Amino acid sequence: MRGIVLLVALSATLTHAAANDYVEVRDFTLDAGSISELEIDAGAGSLDVVGDAGVDAIVVKATITVYGKDEERALEMIERDMTLSLEQTGDRAVLQSYFESGMFSWGDSPSIELEVQVPQRLSLLVDDGSGSIDVRNVHGNIGLDDGSGSISLVDVGAVEIDDGSGSIEIETAGGDVRIVDGSGSIVIRQVNGSVRVDDGSGSINVSDVSNDLIVEDDGSGGVSFARIGGRVEQND
């Protein structure tokens, strides 16, 4: 059974980043006592997720920007085209944050920047359209399906990434790391497990891996590695 919506709008703050842009900030919270995983479905905009062992709630700050619109027109667009919600379904929390695609001309699409605080123990599953992703101190498994934008993961659990474009940097992973990447540089350090990379283009640098390093395909760009505890395979 689908859980009831458990979001609380703590505040809604209006600011103006530029004369012709509309900016609104919304804050939400959700008790995470019975939650083991957070699923995020995000469109355009940066995503910053931080784990904290001392909290047992999911806290979200969403900064909504509508470019080139006055307040009245921006609010109409937000009401009509935006999805922004935080819900619990069983032991999973679901955060949705996007504007419907196909509504905007190139260069002026609205965005939602997300700052998320979670219990350190949670797993994280992200489907992201565009914008940077930064995840720190989240010790559960991390799954990312990303269209474009840089990815930075620090002090996380096992990692699985399917990425279109943009750099990837991982430092301190508590389990295996699996990456399928279209383009962009990849840097991986300190992995308690194995690393497997299937890469279209861009340099790959891997160090301090306790088990194996397997590079399935490196279309273009060099591969360098150091201090690999298991076997190393490169299959071009």
| 3-class secondary structure per residue, 203-226 | CEEEEEECCCEEEEEEEECCEEEE
User: Within 13 Å of residue 35, how many CA atoms lie on the same side as its CB?
Assistant: 26
Residues 100 and 153 in one domain: no
Q: What pLDDT is recorded for position 10?
A: 41
- Domain contains 126: no
Lowest mean pLDDT among 24-38, 55-69, 138-152, 211-225: 211-225
Mean pLDDT of 162-173: 95
- Domain contains 127: no
Q: What are phi and psi of 75, to 5 degrees?
A: -65, -35
d(CA 31, CA 88): 9
pLDDT tens for each residue of 204-218: 999 999 999 999 876
Residue 145 CB neighbours (<10 A): 16
Residues 183 and 79 in one domain: no
Q: Which two tokens stand for residue 83?
A: 């999805």
- Domain contains 136: no
Q: What pLDDT is recorded for position 219?
A: 67
Q: What pLDDT is recorded for position 236?
A: 67
Contacts of 145 (CB under 8 A, 6+ apart): 126, 127, 128, 162
Domain boundary among 64, 82, 116: 116
**Total number of domains in the chain:** 2
Which residues, in sequence order, are bridge partners of residue 117?
50, 59
Residues 109 and 158 in one domain: no
Residues 112 and 149 in one domain: no
Domain boundary among 101, 116, 131: 116
- Cα distances (angstroms) measured from residue 27 to each of 34, 46, 59, 134, 181: 21, 16, 7, 19, 33
Q: What pLDDT is recorded for position 200?
A: 85
Mean pLDDT of 76-103: 91
Are residues 174 and 191 in contact, defined by beta-carbon separation less than 8 angstroms? no
Higher per-residue pLDDT: 193 or 148: 193
Q: What pLDDT is recorded for position 104?
A: 47
Query: Nearest CA to 109 among 15, 41, 43, 165?
Result: 43
Residues 95 and 167 in one domain: no
Residues 3 and 67 in one domain: yes
- Cα distances (angstroms) measured from residue 64 to each of 85, 115, 151, 160: 13, 12, 21, 29
Parent domain of 153: 141-236
Residues 173 and 224 in one domain: yes
pLDDT of 169 over the 80 cut? yes
Distance of CA 218 to the CA centre of its chain: 24
d(CA 61, CA 130): 18
Residues 190 and 110 in one domain: no
Residues 84 and 160 in one domain: no
